[in-house]
A and B are shown apart, each in its own frame.
Chain A
Amino acid sequence: MIPKPPAEQIPNASSPRARLDETELREWMGEYQAGRLEAFDRVYAAIAVPLRKYLTALARDAAEAQDLLQEAFLQIHRSRHTYDRDQPLLPWVFAISRHVYLMSLRSARRRPLRGADNLEETELSFAVPPEVDGLADRLELRAAVARVGAERREAMLLHHVWGFSFREVGAIQGVTESAAKLRSSRGMAELRGILKERR
C-alpha cells in the first residue's frame, strides 16, 4: 500500500512538467507495474490533465481529446511492462499518447485541420511561452497556436509549455534533438508571425 502523500506533495496536474515530481512518478509507476490500483490512481491524477492538454493540442478538439485520453490510458496500461524505471516517465507516456492520436488520425482518414473553435478555455489554460506573452490576449493566442503547423506546434508546446528537453521532444517525435529544436523555434517564429499579422 502506498502511503498517501501530504497534500502539498500531490502534484498539481495543471502545472508544467517541471513541477511534477519525476521521482515520485517513477515510484508510483513501479507500484502500478506491481499491480496496485492506488498507484494507477496516483499516476492518473498526476498526468491526466497535462496529457489531455497535449492531446487537445494535437487533435484540436476537446471532446476528441477526452476520448483519446481514455484510449491512451488503456494503451499505457497494456504496455506498462515496457516502462523502465531508470528512464523519465513522461516521455514514455507522451510517446504512447502521440501514437494513440496518430492511430486515430489514420483510422479516421481524417478531416482537414479545424480551427480552435472547439477548444475549451480550460484545455488551453497553459503557461504561455514568454516570447509571445503580451503580444495578444488569450483568445487570440489560442487561435494563433492552433494555426501553427502540427509538428512545429507540438514541438513548441512540448518544450515551452510542458517543459520537455529538446532531447525528450526528439524522442517523442522520433527526430533528433536538433530537429526538435528547429521545429520548436520555427513554431515560435510562425506563431509570432501569425500574431503580428492579426494585429
Chain B
Amino acid sequence: MIDETAPPQLRDRIARDLAPVAPLKKPWLRAALALPLGILLLFAASTVYSLRGDAGRLGWTLTWGLSTIELALGMLLIGMALRDAIPGRVWSPPALLASLGTALAAVFLITLVTWRVSPTRILHESVAYVTSVCFGYPLIAALPVILFAGLLVSRAYPLRPQLAGALYGAGAGLLSDAGWRLFCHYSDPAHVLTAHLGAIVAATLIGALTGRLLRPRS
C-alpha cells in the first residue's frame, strides 16, 4: 500500500498559509451580483436622455421586451464566464460557439424586427456623429460591468482567462446595448450593426484583455 506523504518543504509552505477559506458560491449565484448593474444600464439611457421616439409604434414587446431578452443573454454570458473560471468546469468549444452565436443572432434578429416595424434612418450629414455616440457611450457604460465581472472571475481560478474575459465582455456589451437601444431610435441595420454591434465586439475584446490582465499569477 502506498500512503505517500507530502515533501516537508511543500507541507511547510502549505502549513504557513493554511487559513480557512470560504468556498465560492455557484457561478450563477455569483453572476446574479452583476444583475443590479445590468438593470441599472437597462434604465439608464432612457431615463437620463429619453425613451426612443418610436417607442409607441414599437410597443412594449419590441422595446422593453427585446431589451430584457438582451439583458438575459448578457447575464447568461457572464454566468458562463464565471463557470468557465472554475477548474474542471470549462465549456467546450461547441457550447461557447453556440452561446456567442446565439447572442450575435439575437442582436441581428432584434435589429431586423425593429427595422421592419419602425424603419428610421440617420441623416447623411449626421452619420459619423451618431455612429461615434452609439459606439462610444454604450462601450463606456459597459466598462464598469466588465471590471466587476473581471473581479468576480479573478476571485476564482480561470484556466482560460482571456476566453472568460471575452465571455463577460460580450455579456457586458449586451447589457449595455439593451439599455442604449431604448434611447437610440435609429433602427437602420447599417447603423445598428456597425455602431451598436461594434460596441459589443469592442467590449468583448476589452473583456479578453481584462481577463488577461486580471489572470491569476503563479
Q: Are A176 and B92 touching (Cβ within 8 A)?
A: yes
**Known contacts A45-B3, A49-B2: A95-B90 contact under CB 8 Å:** yes
What 0/1 pattern do residues 75 to 105 of A give for CB contact below 8 A with B?
Answer: 1011111111101000111111001000100
Bound Cα distance A75, B159 (Å) = 11
Interface residues of A: mostly helix, strand, loop or mixed? helix
For the A-B complex, the count of residue pairs with Cβ-Cβ distances under 8 Å equals 120
Point out the residues of chain A lying under 8 angstroms from B157, CB to CB: 75, 78-79, 82, 96
**Known contacts A34-B20, A73-B14, A81-B23: A44-B6 contact under CB 8 Å:** yes
Tally B residues with Cβ within 8 Å of A.
39
Q: Are B93 and A99 touching (Cβ within 8 A)?
A: no
Point out the residues of chain A lying under 8 angstroms from B87, CB to CB: 79, 82, 92-93, 95-96, 99
Q: Are B5 and A45 touching (Cβ within 8 A)?
A: yes
Point out the residues of chain B lying under 8 angstroms from A12, CB to CB: 1-2
Q: Are B13 and A41 touching (Cβ within 8 A)?
A: no
What 0/1 pattern do residues 174 to 199 of B give for CB contact below 8 A with A?
Answer: 00000000000000000000000000
Kindly state whether residue B56 has any CB partner on chain A within 8 Å.
no
Most central of A41, A49, A94, A168 by chain B CB within 10 Å:
A41
Most central of A13, A33, A171 by chain B CB within 10 Å:
A171
Candidates A14, A33, A103; contact of B23 at CB < 8 Å: A33
Point out the residues of chain B lying under 8 angstroms from A189, CB to CB: none
Bound Cα distance A91, B90 (Å) = 11
Q: Closest chain B residue to A30 by CB distance?
A: B23
Q: How far is the CB of A179 from chain B (nearest CB, A)?
A: 7
Bound Cα distance A83, B91 (Å) = 17
B residues with CB within 8 A of A: 1-7, 9-11, 13-15, 17-24, 26, 85-95, 156-157, 159-160, 216, 218
Given contacts A33-B20, A94-B88, 18 further A-B contacts (CB under 8 A): A33-B21, A33-B22, A35-B20, A44-B5, A45-B4, A48-B4, A49-B2, A78-B157, A78-B216, A81-B23, A83-B23, A87-B89, A96-B87, A99-B87, A103-B218, A171-B89, A174-B90, A177-B92
A residues with CB within 8 A of B: 7, 10, 12-14, 33-37, 40-41, 44-45, 48-49, 70-71, 73-75, 77-85, 87, 91-96, 99, 103, 168, 170-172, 174-177, 179
